[in-house]
Amino acid sequence: MRPTSQPTSASPDAPALRGGTILLLAALYCAQGLPSGLIAHALPVMLRQHGVDLAVIGALKLIALPWMLKVLWAPWIDRLSSRRLGHHRGWILPMQAAVLAGLAAVAMLPPDALFGPWLPVFLGLLLLLNLAAATQDVAADGLAVRLLPARWRGLGNSLQVGGYKAGMIVGGSLLLLVVEPLGWRTSIGLLAGLVALMAVPVLLFPEQRRLPRLAPLDEPAGPALLWRHYRGFLARPGVGAWLLVVLLYKLGDAVGSPMIKPMLVDQGWTSAALGRLTLVSSAAGIGGAVLGGLVYARLGAVRSLAAFGLLQAAGIAAMAWLAGGAPVQAVYAVALFEQVADAMSTVALFAVMMDRCRAGHEGGDYTFQACLQVLAAGAAGAFSGVAASALGYGGHFVLAGLLGVPAIVLAAHGGWRGMETAPAVSAPAR
């Protein structure tokens, strides 16, 4: 790899979103969701079925460390590129190949060995798989920022959120349904096959034509790049106000959502019933992501952030209505509303995060914001059980809804709009 060059600029208000771009972004983020669904949803169930200790299952969270630490190497992904494959493809294709290799290795070993004497090796493979997926994500986010016209970044993030959720459903819920009748090796092999299929649009993407290189950037890719990169991001006007929005925007959801399933379990919901609810609400979330992108294109950044944030706060607060017990239909209605509102707010936040990226620093700038949001949400979510125990489920969800109000006020105020935005880059079709 070699230092990449300054991207070209185009009008951020380009009127159309290419069909090829839609397919490319949907495939990229679905490919990330497939192994994530395996690790987050399917593995905990299968590990417990094989008698693995709960402490080990809880430690699966540590496998996600690359997703939180990717901010440390993201600037180099912006600076280095492949002469033959192009900047973003030069990172995405090798990382997808590494994910495929990891899944192939997992498929070759029997589950009795993986969940038994080979468990440390298995967890090590999953850690490497997450490292590859997190690195690919930086390049994919940078590619999305450069490709998407500013007006359509909401819809672009609908593809990101919806594609990822679809991958999570297939790699998690559906994998659990097929692993017994098809067997471990076939099921994981099919998962790997889907990841390979998602790489086809990346292989066909003419990056050198769509995103041509110009003069090299002055910023060298040396050891001090990390400091220079983020110092430049933090020095811009309005960045403090914006990062406060990033920190607070999903705080209420982070506090409230971990307690939804425990509340329903305490009300007598079975695992099968919760599985059906999760599947239906996840599908509703995909629809909410698409709706959020379309509405974002009409409302713009400030009004979308405020309006969708209000829906998100209302959705999590509405869970308090279920705390004393409610009919199944009421639970589904509230859960679906909460998932749609959550997806819409996520789309708005991610779209504005794209707008806050500097040209030539898209992957690193977006990753910095995303990691900040994930860390804030993780820290808040860690205290959700304490709050629910102290306040009861009803009081807990009311508190979670109120925690979303400061971010709504800050988003509506718009003091963060002084940060320059990254233009989309797209060469004319040939």
Q: What is the tens place of the pLDDT at every residue in 228-287?
A: 888 888 988 888 889 999 999 999 998 888 888 888 888 888 867 877 888 888 889 889
DSSP structural state of residue 322: G
Helix (H) or strand (E) holding 77: helix 74-79
CATH of the domain at 27: 1.20.1250.20
User: Are residue 196 and residue 328 in the same domain, yes or no?
Assistant: no
Give the SS3 label for residue 18. coil
CA–CA gap between residue 98 and residue 95 (Å, rounded): 5
CA-nearest of 41, 128, 146, 130 to 87 is 146
Domain assignment present for residue 159? The answer is yes
Domain assignment present for residue 369? The answer is yes
Residue 110 is encoded by which pair of tokens? 């029997």
User: Are residue 114 and residue 172 in the same domain, yes or no?
Assistant: yes
Instruction: Confirm if 221 and 80 have CB atoms less than 8 A apart.
Output: yes
Domain assignment present for residue 217? The answer is no
Residue at token pair 């959700």: 384
Q: What total of structural domains would you count in the chain? A: 2
User: Are residue 67 and residue 179 in the same domain, yes or no?
Assistant: yes
CA–CA gap between residue 114 and residue 177 (Å, rounded): 20
Model pLDDT, residue 403: 92
What's the distance, Cα to Cα, between the start and end of the chain in Å?
27
Q: What is the tens place of the pLDDT at every residue in 240-251?
A: 889 999 999 999
Domain assignment present for residue 189? The answer is yes
Picking from 156, 176, 207, the residue at the C-terminal end of a domain is 207
User: Are residue 116 and residue 168 in the same domain, yes or no?
Assistant: yes
Q: What is the tens place of the pLDDT at every residue in 332-361?
A: 999 999 999 999 999 999 999 998 888 888
Give the SS3 label for residue 415. coil
Instruction: Confirm if 142 and 88 have CB atoms less than 8 A apart.
Output: yes
What is the mean predicted confidence (pLDDT) over 378-406?
A: 88
CA–CA gap between residue 40 and residue 360 (Å, rounded): 33
Domain assignment present for residue 249? The answer is yes
How many CB atoms are located within 10 Å of the residue 265 CB?
13
325: left (phi over 0), alpha (psi -120 to 50) or beta: left
Task: Enter the pTM of the model.
Answer: 0.82
Domain residues for the domain of 83 are 19-207
User: Are residue 198 and residue 230 in the same domain, yes or no?
Assistant: no
Calculate what percentage of the chain has a pLDDT beyond 70: 88
Give the SS3 label for residue 429. coil
